[in-house]
A and B are shown apart, each in its own frame.
Chain A
Amino acid sequence: MAINKLDRTAKEIVLTVQEYSIFSGRAFLNLFRPPIYWTDFLIQSDIIGVGSIPIVVLAGFFTGGVLALQSAATLTEFGAAAVTGQFVSLTMIRELGAVLTGIMVAGRNASSIASELGSMVVTEQIDAMRALGVDPMRKLATPRIFASIAMLLLLTIVADAFGIMGGAAVTVFLNHQNGTQYFHMAYEHLRYPDIIQGLVKPLFFGYILGSIGCFYGMRTTGGTEGVGRSTIQAVVTSSVLIIFVDFLITHVLLSIFPT
């Protein structure tokens, strides 16, 4: 009995991975094949990008602040409090800016994409769209994925900038250190590989959150309860995948650009 259940679950997982691979592959190819719905891309960019600015600014600012607070205590013991700026900027740009933004935006937008598309599925709007001769993959999924990639890149830059500012605010106002020294250290030790690492990751994370949101939304079944289930699956899967892919990308990039 238990073996049967395990067998069924394993098959379902393999089937889901297979379906997602086909789905995301089609969505990716659609990025380069007409028709591309530019108006929908701009609308989604506004929803995903502009709409996420407040949470990204706040998350970035306070994360930078926490990094400065935590690091300053330890660094002071070694007489290295002056390198707080370097520590905050490198951590934000190489790692936390991209990952935090990815997870925050996944929580906000993978859920909204999945619930919106899921509602359209259960009310037959997707079928109606297909019956009207419009490909929902191109019209709904591709603009959302494309917008997620583009906006996550920009939002990560915003998060990095506000993270460094948050660190500066803590360093100056709470730790009573020199602000100029903080920014000098933050800038001086920054190398191009660090920036590349920080800007490559959001491209993958944006693709993950957009495609997972669309994937779970489009395969919704079971009415309104199904919409809720799809929403949860989209958020959980995209968040976990972002952290997993972050590990893989970091590993690969560190082998290309050793520190």
Chain B
Amino acid sequence: MNHSAVPAPATPASAPEASPVVAVRNVTVAFDGPPVLTDITFSVAPAETRILLGPAGVGKSVLLKIIIGLLRPVKGDVMLFGKNISRMPEEELFALRVRAGMVFQEGALFDSLTVRDNVAYQLIQEGVPDDEIDTRVHEALRFVGLAETFGMYPASLSGGMRRRVAIARALIHDPELILYDSPTGGLDPVTSTTIIELIVKQRDVHATPALLVTHRLQDAFTLCNHRFDADQGCMVPLPPGQTNPNTTFLMLEEGRIIFDGSLEELLHSQNTFVREFLE
């Protein structure tokens, strides 16, 4: 682990002064009992990738669902693409959600539909012609390296393949924001690396802002100290000591954000929980 990480020159231009894609302000979430999330505040800038770390059951997935309006906060405001969605009617939210892509924990593919129909789900609803759908689905599946699964059903795919199809489904609409909910959870190291490579590729090629939930430090560090090499067509390590300047960290503990900053700041944090988590 590199303890003197230096930000590498940004591949896509970072724009910290631009209005954030997501802004969460003093959000508290509770169901039937004590709050799951308390006074959460952070933002995601254009072209920024934020990695949300924390142990299992701390409310990371809930936070992602809050951001896209699948759950509502009891207190605070959530701004998505500049609009406050905290109390926005569900009908109005659908138009905003179309602009974002979400990769669910287990893929959440529609098991009665083929891979083609899963990936093209949004396009089919919009009435896009079949020929165009086929072309775009092939393109999306090639991006995730699963062109051969076009006519297959999710049941015949492995766990890793399902996640990659879910990524293709989230990307086919050229989203302005991507939310990844533990995309490598429960997968073997090789498949995890394949998925992380896809996320790095999307970050470096399309500069799409993203929020990634994980409890695997290895994946988080790989995202930070690798870049996608378009010439070689694969992910390569950044020079020693350099990190991606657009990739930053958040850490949750007991429903509160206890860290918000860069990899270097994370590595030098004196917070006891952060130190324990890193060790």
Contacts and interface: CB of A to CB of B under 8 A. Distances in A.
Interface of A: 120, 123-125, 127-135
A104 B22 CA distance: 50
Contact of A134 (B94, B108, B109): B94
A131 B110 contact: no
Given A123-B108, A124-B108, A125-B108, A131 B90 contact: no
Contacts of A131: 68, 70, 97, 100, 102, 104
22 contacts: A123-B106, A123-B111, A124-B104, A125-B108, A125-B109, A127-B104, A128-B102, A128-B104, A128-B110, A129-B110, A130-B70, A130-B94, A131-B100, A131-B104, A132-B98, A132-B122, A132-B169, A133-B95, A133-B125, A134-B125, A135-B90, A135-B94
A125 B106 CA distance: 10
Nearest to B61: A124
Interface of B: 65, 68, 70, 90-91, 94-95, 97-98, 100, 102, 104-106, 108-111, 121-122, 125, 169
Contacts of A134: 94, 121-122, 125
Nearest to A123: B108
A127 B121 contact: no
Given A134-B94, A135-B90, A135-B91, A125 B100 contact: no
A131 B95 CA distance: 10
Q: Which secondary structure dominates where chain B touches chain A?
A: mixed
Given A125-B111, A133-B94, 19 more contacts: A120-B110, A123-B111, A124-B104, A124-B105, A124-B106, A127-B65, A127-B70, A128-B102, A129-B110, A129-B121, A130-B70, A132-B97, A132-B98, A132-B125, A132-B169, A133-B125, A134-B121, A134-B125, A135-B90
A215 to B, nearest CB: 17
A205 B110 CA distance: 30
A129 B97 CA distance: 10
Nearest to A37: B125
Contacts of B65: 127
B272 to A, nearest CB: 34
Nearest to B101: A131
Given A123-B106, A124-B106, A135-B91, A130 B111 contact: no
A128 B111 CA distance: 12
Contacts of A124: 104-106, 108
A138 to B, nearest CB: 10
Given A130-B70, A134-B94, A135-B90, A125 B125 contact: no
A128 B91 CA distance: 16
Nearest to A26: B90
B108 A128 contact: yes
A125 B111 CA distance: 9
Contacts of A133: 94-95, 97-98, 122, 125
Contacts of A120: 110
A195 B128 CA distance: 46
A127 B97 CA distance: 11
Contacts of B169: 132
Nearest to A119: B111
B104 A130 contact: no
Nearest to B97: A133
Nearest to B113: A125
Nearest to B71: A127
Contacts of B104: 124, 127-128, 131
A133 B100 CA distance: 9
